[in-house]
């Protein structure tokens, strides 16, 4: 007749967290040979239940059970003998005894004819009672030795450091994820060997754990961050070298040779970068001796082709720095030559500039906001009456250099007249119009270098004729063009990104008055 022991089973008020944990609990009951005779689940939670289980404390003896137990014992003895033979532990009987003892200590269930150890169920409902049964893996998870280290626990929360190498995690973020206070986490950091920083400028104190470096830092908002990176590996070994004394023959090289080599190098770099726009090439060009400056009105004829159209009024202008480089002289010498022609600055920057008429053109000098010298010129019919300079002298100005004949030629219309007369542009534009090729819808264009041979002129002569006709030679590809109307078409010059100069033509736009007449 079998004797029974009973056990009340329950999942607790909240039930199990997952179905897997419920299955593990029921499987453990089956391994311990408990039989569930009553199972009541809650209607609103299938993972919460209560019930009753039982198991026998004495087995009924049968011949079949006895045969199975004897066969199992014989198999255990043979296995222990073979294990002792290969491990050199000694006799088979002693190894079998030790194996049986180890099996008993591990708590493995064995089928025997003896009574099973009776379990005391009187204190199952007492929460403060001590548990004499060996702990399983589920119970060992709560023990301190099974918990991960602090360094392993922060790894899932590390993110890439945005201010340097490695990874980082905020202390405030960890407090929220672990449901801990900041003081508790700071105490854990101190126990792990960290040094809490008190200022954002404090140098980091590194600690090492399993080949990685860890440190703390404080940002501007007072937040503490935990940082980590791989420990750097040494890649070289520093050794002292031997200083070499220079050869005396190299020190005796002439200083002039080295200076000449440096000047040549600066000139070469200046040519490669465009010449006038580079400061080193400017100094080299100014230092190079050139031809003496012309005297009297011949100086104005010399600088006239170098001037550009004035952006603040009619006529043209040129900077003293650019003209001095082009003429290979000093800017002070150029200012002295202008003063000899009567071109002097006004007494104060706010006064009206001193304008002087020389050979039918109006000339004056002034200073810009940065103190740079500028010389300006325009046609007389584009302004009022001014003092006249004839034969190299001016009224109220410095005397001009003697011995220089006055030029009787008028100033070119390319610079001093933005709107040339109708007869000046008709000749060259009418001759070149048949040679223009169609580029886009309603637009005609050709390279100046291809048009010049067709008219029997050189490229420079042809460009000068176009400028005299009122067109403006652009210095940059995106510079605003100047249009000249001729025979119902608009002509202009443009420069491509490859520094090619093009002559263009398109139908001129009709004015509003003509549209109204139509």
Q: Poorest-confidence range of 419-423, 431-435, 460-464, 485-489?
A: 419-423
DSSP annotation of 339 reads H
- Give this prediction's pTM: 0.28
Q: Residue 193 has what pLDDT? A: 92
Check if the beta carbon of residue 389 is closer than 8 Å to that of residue 395.
Answer: yes
Sheet holding 489-495, edge to edge: 437-440, 443-447, 501-507, 489-495, 484-486
Q: Which residue from 330, 300, 336, 333 is spatially nearest to 318, judged by alpha carbons?
A: 300
- Kindly report, residue by residue over 483-516, the tens digit of the pLDDT: 888 888 899 999 998 888 999 999 887 654 444 5
- Give the helix, strand, coil percentages of the chain, each rounded to 5: 35, 20, 45
Question: Count of CB atoms within 10 A of residue 368's CB?
Answer: 10
Q: Residue 418 has what pLDDT? A: 41
Q: Poorest-confidence range of 144-158, 228-242, 258-272, 498-512?
A: 258-272
- Kindly report, residue by residue over 397-421, the tens digit of the pLDDT: 333 333 333 333 333 434 454 444 4
Residue with tokens 């800017």: 331
* pLDDT exceeds 90 at position 207: yes
Question: Count of CB atoms within 10 A of residue 517's CB?
Answer: 8
* pLDDT exceeds 60 at position 192: yes
Question: Count of CB atoms within 10 A of residue 96's CB?
Answer: 19
Give 228's pLDDT tier (boundaries 50, 70, 90).
very high
DSSP annotation of 331 reads H
SS3 195: coil
Sheet holding 316-319, edge to edge: 308-309, 316-319, 373-379, 361-367, 356-358, 388-389
- Kindly report, residue by residue over 340-386, the tens digit of the pLDDT: 888 888 888 788 888 888 887 888 888 888 888 888 988 876 554 44
The token duo for 197 is 């920083």
- Please give the backbone phi and psi of residue 155, each rounded to the nearest 5 degrees, phi first: -60, -45
* pLDDT exceeds 90 at position 216: yes
Check if the beta carbon of residue 178 is closer than 8 Å to that of residue 191.
Answer: no
Among 93-102, 103-112, 243-252, 330-339, the range with the most confident prediction by mean pLDDT is 330-339
Give me the count of residues in the chain: 518
Domain ranges of the chain: 4-58+118-140, 63-105, 148-230, 257-288, 295-417, 419-518
């Amino acid at each position: 007749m079998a004797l029974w022991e009973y056990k009340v089973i329950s999942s607790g008020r909240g039930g199990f967290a997952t179905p897997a944990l419920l299955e593990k609990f029921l499987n453990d009951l089956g391994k311990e040979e408990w039989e569930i005779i009553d199972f009541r689940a809650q209607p609103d939670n299938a993972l919460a239940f209560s019930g009753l289980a039982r198991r026998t404390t004495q087995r009924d003896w049968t011949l079949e059970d006895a045969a199975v137990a004897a066969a199992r014992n014989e198999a255990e003895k043979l296995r222990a003998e073979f294990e002792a033979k290969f491990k050199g532990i000694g006799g088979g009987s002693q190894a079998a005894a030790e194996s049986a003892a180890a099996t008993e200590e591990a708590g493995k269930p064995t089928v025997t004819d003896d009574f099973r150890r009776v379990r005391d169920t009187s204190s199952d409902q007492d929460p403060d009672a001590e548990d004499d049964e060996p702990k399983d893996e589920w119970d060992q998870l709560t023990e301190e030795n099974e918990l991960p280290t602090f360094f392993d626990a922060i790894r899932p929360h590390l993110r890439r450091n945005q201010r340097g190498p490695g990874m980082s995690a905020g202390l405030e973020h960890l407090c929220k994820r672990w449901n801990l206070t900041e003081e508790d986490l700071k105490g854990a950091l101190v126990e792990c060997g960290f040094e809490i920083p008190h200022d954002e400028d404090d140098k980091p104190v590194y600690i090492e754990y399993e080949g990685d470096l860890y440190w703390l830092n404080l940002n501007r908002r007072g937040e503490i961050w935990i940082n980590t990176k791989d420990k750097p590996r040494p890649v070289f070994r520093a050794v002292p070298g031997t200083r070499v004394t220079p050869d005396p023959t190299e020190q005796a090289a002439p200083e002039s040779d080295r200076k000449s080599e440096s000047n040549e190098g600066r000139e070469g770099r200046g040519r490669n970068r465009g010449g006038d726009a580079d400061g080193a090439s400017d100094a080299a060009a100014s230092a190079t001796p050139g031809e003496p400056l012309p005297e009297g009105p011949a100086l104005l004829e010399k600088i006239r082709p170098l001037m550009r159209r004035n952006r603040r009024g009619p006529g043209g202008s040129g900077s003293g720095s650019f003209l001095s480089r082009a003429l290979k002289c000093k800017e002070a010498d150029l200012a002295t030559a202008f003063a000899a022609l009567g071109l002097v600055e006004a007494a104060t920057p706010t006064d009206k500039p001193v304008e002087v008429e020389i050979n039918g053109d109006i000339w004056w000098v002034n200073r810009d906001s940065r103190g740079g010298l500028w010389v300006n010129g325009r046609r007389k019919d584009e302004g009022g009456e001014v003092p006249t300079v004839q034969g190299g002298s001016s009224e109220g100005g410095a005397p001009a250099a003697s011995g220089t004949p006055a030029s009787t030629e008028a100033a070119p219309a390319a610079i001093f007249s933005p709107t040339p007369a109708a007869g000046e542009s008709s000749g060259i534009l009418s001759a070149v119009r048949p040679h223009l090729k169609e580029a886009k819808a309603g637009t005609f264009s050709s390279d100046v270098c291809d048009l010049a041979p067709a008219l029997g002129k050189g490229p420079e002569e042809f460009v000068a004729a176009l400028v005299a006709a009122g067109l403006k030679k652009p210095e940059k590809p995106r510079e605003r063009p100047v249009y000249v109307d001729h025979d119902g078409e608009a002509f202009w010059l443009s420069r491509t990104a490859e520094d090619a100069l093009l002559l263009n033509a398109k139908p001129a736009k009709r004015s509003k008055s003509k549209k109204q007449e139509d």
